[in-house]
């Protein structure tokens, strides 16, 4: 092999590994689950926004950047942002729209409303409630401020996606929550203060402040979700076809077991590790209550079926676990 052939082969291997996330168990399925969980509106989500909006409003009214930063630390807007960007990349319109609604609901119907109510109550009972520098910064920004704020929103969105792709193991590791918390603060910088300023402006009768803060919020949402998160996931090679591939391999395992076993076990778990655009590592665990033996050639059969249905080369490992189960839950209900 001459130098040219070696370099050509190296470039091809690099191109294959450049696009797509490889070597992480069930990576694309976990991304979809994160998006689905992030799109769910919970009571805890509403309470966290109430607390964050309370802090943000107080910080804006007393002109304290430190208090505003504290509000950003607890603002729970990372999850819906991921629902939007992952839903868009996986072409799941429901996840995208529900995630976007969760963002808008949290920012305007909860965050802005909380800021409005708090400001009205304080304005009627406490002297000195007026427009501060921190409020003006988000309601009457200069051209420089607008450009920099957009860059911050794009950077925060890119960071949210990079946290999932730069070190893909984060999706399955408990320590990933620490990175999520830090990225969540960056997202809070873009979203929570403008939403609170909208409510403050309405409460003080300054519609110009509310209008400017509203458009700033819209720009931040677009920059965060679409110019930052979605673009970065796309550049990193996250694709719908890999999610479909993981699901197809799992279904192939189940279908092959159903065709080769006399009775389908009560539970089958299948973990898929995509190694490249052409290869996968598959581990299937069969949980059974009865004495069930796996045919010696079953793994080979599954490998052949995966190749037939997906064109992928694969290494298939199968194990069987016998278990017993007994429940008194039904008795208690009765």
- The pLDDT score that the predictor gives to residue 326 is 73
Tell me how far apart the alpha carbons of residues 329 and 36 are, in angstroms, rounded to a whole number: 29
Q: Which of 177, 260, 264, 190 lies closest to 228 in space, CA to CA?
A: 190
pLDDT score recorded for residue 33: 92
| In the predicted structure, residue 121 carries a pLDDT above the cut 50 | yes
Same domain, 79 and 108: yes
- Whether residue 9 lies inside any domain: the answer is no
Q: Quick one: 247 and 212 in the same domain?
A: no
Question: Residues 177, 257: one domain?
Answer: no
Percent of the chain with pLDDT over 70: 87
Q: What six digits make up the tokens of 232? A: 């970065």
Provide the pLDDT for residue 11: 45
**What's the pLDDT score for residue 18?**
55
For the chain, the domain total comes to 2
Kindly report the average pLDDT of the chain as a whole number: 84
Q: Which of 238, 257, 282 is the C-terminal boundary of a domain? A: 238
Residue-wise burial string across 288-321, b where 16 or more C-beta atoms lie within 10 A, e elsewhere: beeeeebeeebbeebbebbeeebebebebebeee
Q: What's the pTM value of the predicted model, to 2 decimals?
A: 0.83
- Judge if 198 and 89 occupy the same domain: yes
- pLDDT digit string (tens) for 225-237? 888 888 888 888 8
- Asked if residue 53 lies in contact with residue 8, where contact means CB atoms within 8 angstroms, the answer is no
For 82-98, b where at least 16 C-beta lie within 10 A, e where not — what string?
bbbbbbbbbebeebbeb
H/E segment holding residue 267 = strand 267-274
Token pair in block for residue 267: 């539970």
- 16's tokens: 């294959």
Cβ-contact 275, 210 below 8 angstroms: no
Same domain membership, residue 181 and residue 287: no
- Cross-strand pairs, 315: 281
Residues 149 and 292 reside in one and the same domain: no
Average of pLDDT values for 135-152? 83
Domain-terminating residue out of 218, 238, 258: 238
Task: Say if 228 falls within a structural domain.
Answer: yes
pLDDT at 250 over 90: yes
> Residue 25, SS3?
strand
Mean pLDDT of 80-86: 91
Q: Residue 72's domain is classified under what CATH number?
A: 1.20.1080
Is pLDDT above 70 for 175? no
Confidence of residue 15 (pLDDT cuts 50, 70, 90): very low
What interhelical angle do 143-165 and 78-89 show, nearest 10? Answer: 70
**Residue-level pLDDT at 126:** 86
Among 84, 74, 71, residue whose Cα is nearest residue 38: 84
Residues 216 and 72 in one domain: yes
Task: Find out whether 18 and 236 touch, Cβ atoms under 8 Å.
Answer: no
Residue pLDDT, tens place only, 302-331: 999 999 999 999 999 988 888 777 778 765
Q: What is the pLDDT of residue 158?
A: 86
Coil vs helix vs strand at 333:
helix
Same-domain check for residues 127 and 192: yes
Distance CA 180, CA 79 (A): 9
- Domain co-membership, 37 together with 173: yes
Going across the sheet that includes 313-322, the strands are 267-274, 279-288, 313-322
User: Does residue 92 lie in a domain region?
Assistant: yes
Is residue 55 situated within a structural domain?
Answer: yes
Are residues 136 and 63 part of one domain? Answer: yes
In a domain, 2, yes or no: no
Q: What is the per-residue pLDDT for 330?
A: 65
The mean per-residue pLDDT over the stretch 283-308 comes to: 85
Query: Which residue did the predictor score with more confidence, 287 or 105?
Result: 105
Integer Cα distance of 12 and 6 in angstroms:
10
Q: Name the domain boundary from 215, 238, 261.
A: 238
Task: For residues 45-63, give the mean pLDDT.
Answer: 93
User: Averaged over 96-106, what is the pLDDT?
Assistant: 93
Range of the domain at 292: 241-333
Residue 47 to residue 65: CA distance in whole angstroms: 22
**Confidence check: pLDDT of 32 > 80:** yes
Same domain assignment for residues 234 and 291: no
Residue 9 has pLDDT above 50, yes or no: no
Q: What is the pLDDT of residue 176?
A: 57
Q: Are residues 154 and 270 in the same domain?
A: no
């Amino acid at each position: 092999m001459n130098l040219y052939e070696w370099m050509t082969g190296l470039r091809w291997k690099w191109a294959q590994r450049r696009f797509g996330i490889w070597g992480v168990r069930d990576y694309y399925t976990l991304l979809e689950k994160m998006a689905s969980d992030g799109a769910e509106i919970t009571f805890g989500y509403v309470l966290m926004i109430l607390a964050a909006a309370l802090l943000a409003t107080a910080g804006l009214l007393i002109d304290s950047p430190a208090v505003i930063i504290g509000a950003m630390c607890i603002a729970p807007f990372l999850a819906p942002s991921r629902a939007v960007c992952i839903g868009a990349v996986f072409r799941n319109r429901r996840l995208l729209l529900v995630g976007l609604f969760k963002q808008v609901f949290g920012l305007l119907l909860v965050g802005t409303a909380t800021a409005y109510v708090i400001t009205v109550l304080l304005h009627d009972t406490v002297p000195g409630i007026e427009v501060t520098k921190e409020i003006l910064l988000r309601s009457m920004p200069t051209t420089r401020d607008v450009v920099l704020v957009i860059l911050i929103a794009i950077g925060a969105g890119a960071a949210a996606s990079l946290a999932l792709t730069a070190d893909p193991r984060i999706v399955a590791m408990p320590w990933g929550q620490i990175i999520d918390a830090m990225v969540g603060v960056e997202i809070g910088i873009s979203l929570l203060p403008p939403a609170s300023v909208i409510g403050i402006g309405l409460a003080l009768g300054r519609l110009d402040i509310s209008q400017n803060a509203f458009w700033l919020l819209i720009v931040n949402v677009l920059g965060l979700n679409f110019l930052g998160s979605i673009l970065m996931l796309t550049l990193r090679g996250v694709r719908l076809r890999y999610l479909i591939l993981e699901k197809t391999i799992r279904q192939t395992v189940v279908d092959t077991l159903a065709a080769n076993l006399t009775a389908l076990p009560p539970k089958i778990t299948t973990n898929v590790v995509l190694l490249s655009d052409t290869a996968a590592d598959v581990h299937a665990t069969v949980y059974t209550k009865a004495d069930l033996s796996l045919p010696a050639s079953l793994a080979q059969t599954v490998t052949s079926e995966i190749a037939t249905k997906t064109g992928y080369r694969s290494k298939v490992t199968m194990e069987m676990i016998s278990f017993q189960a007994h429940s008194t839950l039904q008795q208690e209900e009765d």
